[in-house]
Amino acid sequence: MLLKRFLVGNPLKTAQAVHQRLSKRLALAVFSSDALSSVAYATEEILLVLVPASLALAHFSIPISLMIVLLLTILTLSYSQIIFEYPEGGGAYIVSKSNLGEWPGLTAAAALMIDYVLTVAVSVAAGIAAITSAIPILFPHRTLLGVLAIVIVLLVNLRGVRESGKVFAVPTYMFIGALLLLLGAGAYHFMVGRMSPVTPQSVITQAGAQSVSLFLLLRAFSSGCTALTGVEVISNGVTAFRPPESKNAALTMAGMALILGTLFLGISTMAYYLGVIPKADETVVSQIARATFGEGFLYYLVQGSTMLILILAANSAFAGFPRLASLLARDSFMPHQMAMMGDRLVFSNGIIILGASSGFLIVLFESDTHALIPLYAVGVFLSFTLSQAGMVKRWLIKRGPHWREKLVVNGIGAVTTAIATTIIASTKFMHGAWIVIVLIPLIIMMFRGIRSHYKAVTEQVSLSRGHRPPIPRRNIVLIPIGGVNRAVIRAVDYARSRPGEIRAVLVDTDSEETAKAEMQWAQWGCGVNLIVLPSPYRSILGSLLDYIEEILDKEPESWITVVIPEILPARWWQNILHNQRALMLKAALLFKDRVVLTDVPFHLTR
């Protein structure tokens, strides 16, 4: 308890949950870490598909990057329309459910949940990779570092992040600044002629002999699509903007897309011109920065700010996942406790589940970004597609001014993201996307199973007109005892604090002991009847159960209260030395209707 207070802080009042309105500049910092941070790994993932096939294919990274920037433009336009239509926040779950119905809504929710987990795992793995690129000595400890990073983010989120967006502004703008500086330096080197495409002659010769497989290019494109994860985040947080909320949010989103496109295209171009080849222990961005800046302050600035923005990206999932889980819990698709705010005004259960699952992934995939990527983009693009399709349906039904133009925009969005989803799912299927494709229906089944259970419970406990308030019944109180001691007398004291029929019950396993107990009872029993039961099977439990069954038969309306004198040890491990019989009795009585158990604890002090 004290540990919890120290790590998580004191409880907060409901009234303290005030909404902070963000300026566009702060909002950009708060909401764009997820999207921008993908610059740290997207180019590398494209090269990791192309280069192992043939070095000569590296130049395909430029057209692929351009394709992805085109997709980014389409997505930004499509999402701007969602921002205006859902100013209260339009996540894929809400948009799909309200326009397309329950199944698409649940599909989007399942895809999103998987995504949040992967956002944390991928971002943390990439963040740690940024660090181990700069400090190679840490490379063998990357899994431990990844888990540590998740634990820290988890604790920060359990405390509740109420500290204002300024905390986010510093690393985000530092990252943007550092990368723009890198691109600027690259452009300068290029113009003064110090940089030119490094493609060895031998490779070019080799390329002629080789046909480029379309499948390979599509796989590279799929890998690059991870650059687009997180672009939708702003559309969830419209309420956090200053008025006019939607307009400010849309402008911020456009700004973010511009920065993202510039950085991504710039890094891809530089990687190509510098002839960077992906290495297991150094990231592409680190190689570019090292080649451009040498090992000075600027290099470490790039690596450090990359790490920070990636951790922020992981952090953003810790806001999104519990919010989604609580929305689902309110619709009874998740356990209701997911919608319970902890005493720090955060959805603690969701935060813990997200931390545990992403930590599990980090350990399973040994903090390797490249191994996690194939699982990542499928879910994101599936939820994009469902959102856009939902908007298409919305325009068709709702219409309104300029609905045709809006329909076209979202239509293009829906079609392109659907194509992208198909490409990603098929080209990455064998590399891990199958896991996600198997998981989504399982999660949907879980959602529906939970809801149908809650529905069944509501039906079973609801008071209908047919019911009448119950008529009063008798209650026979039994106190099973093994001898006479203070714990037993305490239970007797408790039992007779309310009037009614009370019987102490002793099972006779040793006639000498029984006689002794009967004598003591005369003195200490407070006038309560003592019933001695025979025990042919020397099973105390069996005799007690028989006796209880007998009463239940004889009194078909009565309650039976079994008051159990229980010794509560001072230390937890001492429990193994006590109460084994009480435990068995409780297990045996748990499913008996009309039998209610009451423990009267006797606290030991040593």
How many Cβ atoms are within 10 Å of 107's Cβ, its own excluded? 25
Least distance from a second copy to the Cβ atom of residue 492, Å? 8
Question: Rounded distance, CA 218 to CA 221, Å?
Answer: 5
User: 589: closest CA among 536, 552, 538, 557?
Assistant: 552
By the rule CB under 8 A, 255 interacts with a second copy: no
In terms of CB distance, is 89 or 542 closer to a second copy? Answer: 542
Q: What residues pair up with 10 in beta bridges, in sequence order?
A: none
Alpha helices in 274-339 (DSSP H): 284-293, 297-330
Question: Rounded distance, CA 146 to CA 154, Å?
Answer: 12
Least distance from a second copy to the Cβ atom of residue 318, Å? 21
Any residues with CB less than 8 A from the CB of 244 and at least 6 apart, and which? none
Least distance from a second copy to the Cβ atom of residue 94, Å? 22
In terms of CB distance, is 12 or 203 closer to a second copy? Answer: 12
66, 70, 198, 456: which one contacts a second copy (CB under 8 A)?
Answer: 456
Least distance from a second copy to the Cβ atom of residue 576, Å? 6
Q: What residues pair up with 509 in beta bridges, in sequence order?
A: none
* 244 prior amide bond cis, ω within 30: yes
Question: Rounded distance, CA 557 to CA 241, Å?
Answer: 63
In terms of CB distance, is 193 or 472 closer to a second copy? Answer: 472
Least distance from a second copy to the Cβ atom of residue 530, Å? 14
In terms of CB distance, is 196 or 458 closer to a second copy? Answer: 458
By the rule CB under 8 A, 574 interacts with a second copy: yes
DSSP codes joined into one string, 160-219: ---S-THHHHHHHHHHHHHHHHHHHHHHHHHHTT-------HHHHHHHHT-PPPHHHHHH
Q: Among residue numbers 464 through 523, which ones bind a second copy (CB under 8 A)?
A: 467, 469-470, 472-475, 477, 484-487, 489-490, 492-494, 496-500, 520, 523
Stretch that binds a second copy, among 160-168, 178-186, 208-216, 561-569 (CB under 8 A): 561-569
**Binding pattern to a second copy, positions 13-32, x when CB under 8 A?**
xxx-----------------
In terms of CB distance, is 518 or 599 closer to a second copy? Answer: 599
Cα–chain-centroid distance for residue 404?
Answer: 38
DSSP assigned state of 20: P
Q: Among residue numbers 271 through 310, which ones bind a second copy (CB under 8 A)?
A: none
Least distance from a second copy to the Cβ atom of residue 10, Å? 10
- The two structure tokens encoding residue 378: 């499928």
Least distance from a second copy to the Cβ atom of residue 601, Å? 7
Q: Which helix (H) or strand (E) holds 597?
A: strand 595-603
Least distance from a second copy to the Cβ atom of residue 351, Å? 16
Q: Which helix (H) or strand (E) holds 601?
A: strand 595-603
In terms of CB distance, is 360 or 494 closer to a second copy? Answer: 494
Stretch that binds a second copy, among 85-93, 102-110, 267-275, 574-582 (CB under 8 A): 574-582
In terms of CB distance, is 13 or 19 closer to a second copy? Answer: 13
In terms of CB distance, is 141 or 453 closer to a second copy? Answer: 453
Least distance from a second copy to the Cβ atom of residue 567, Å? 7
Radius of gyration of the chain (CA): 33
By the rule CB under 8 A, 606 interacts with a second copy: yes
Question: Rounded distance, CA 222 to CA 68, Å?
Answer: 9
The answer to whether 322 and 350 are in contact (CB under 8 A) is: yes
Rounded (10°) CA dihedral 293, 297, 303, 305: -120
By the rule CB under 8 A, 559 interacts with a second copy: yes
Least distance from a second copy to the Cβ atom of residue 552, Å? 15
Q: Among residue numbers 305 through 344, which ones bind a second copy (CB under 8 A)?
A: 335-337, 340-341, 343
In terms of CB distance, is 297 or 572 closer to a second copy? Answer: 572
In terms of CB distance, is 194 or 467 closer to a second copy? Answer: 467
Question: Applying CB under 8 A, what is the total number of residues that bind a second copy?
Answer: 77
159, 162, 503, 578: which one contacts a second copy (CB under 8 A)?
Answer: 578
The answer to whether 277 and 56 are in contact (CB under 8 A) is: no
Question: Rounded distance, CA 448 to CA 505, Å?
Answer: 48
Q: Which helix (H) or strand (E) holds 505?
A: strand 501-507
Query: For tokens 């193994």, what's the residue?
Result: 576
By the rule CB under 8 A, 453 interacts with a second copy: yes
Least distance from a second copy to the Cβ atom of residue 235, Å? 28
Q: Among residue numbers 422 through 451, which ones bind a second copy (CB under 8 A)?
A: 450
In terms of CB distance, is 345 or 412 closer to a second copy? Answer: 345
201, 211, 511, 605: which one contacts a second copy (CB under 8 A)?
Answer: 605
DSSP codes joined into one string, 528-583: -EEEEEP-TTS-HHHHHHHHHHHHHHH-TT-EEEEEEEEEE-SSGGGGGGS-HHHH
Question: Rounded distance, CA 411 to CA 388, Å?
Answer: 7
By the rule CB under 8 A, 549 interacts with a second copy: no
460, 511, 512, 572: which one contacts a second copy (CB under 8 A)?
Answer: 460
Q: Among residue numbers 73 through 112, which ones bind a second copy (CB under 8 A)?
A: none
**Binding pattern to a second copy, positions 138-157, x when CB under 8 A?**
--------------------
Q: Among residue numbers 583 through 602, which ones bind a second copy (CB under 8 A)?
A: 590-591, 593, 596-602
6, 297, 537, 572: which one contacts a second copy (CB under 8 A)?
Answer: 537
Any residues with CB less than 8 A from the CB of 328 and at least 6 apart, and which? 93, 109, 334, 338, 447
Question: Rounded distance, CA 218 to CA 241, Å?
Answer: 38
By the rule CB under 8 A, 529 interacts with a second copy: no
Query: For tokens 């604890």, what's the residue?
Result: 601
Stretch that binds a second copy, among 92-100, 120-128, 305-313, 531-539 (CB under 8 A): 531-539
The answer to whether 509 and 540 are in contact (CB under 8 A) is: yes
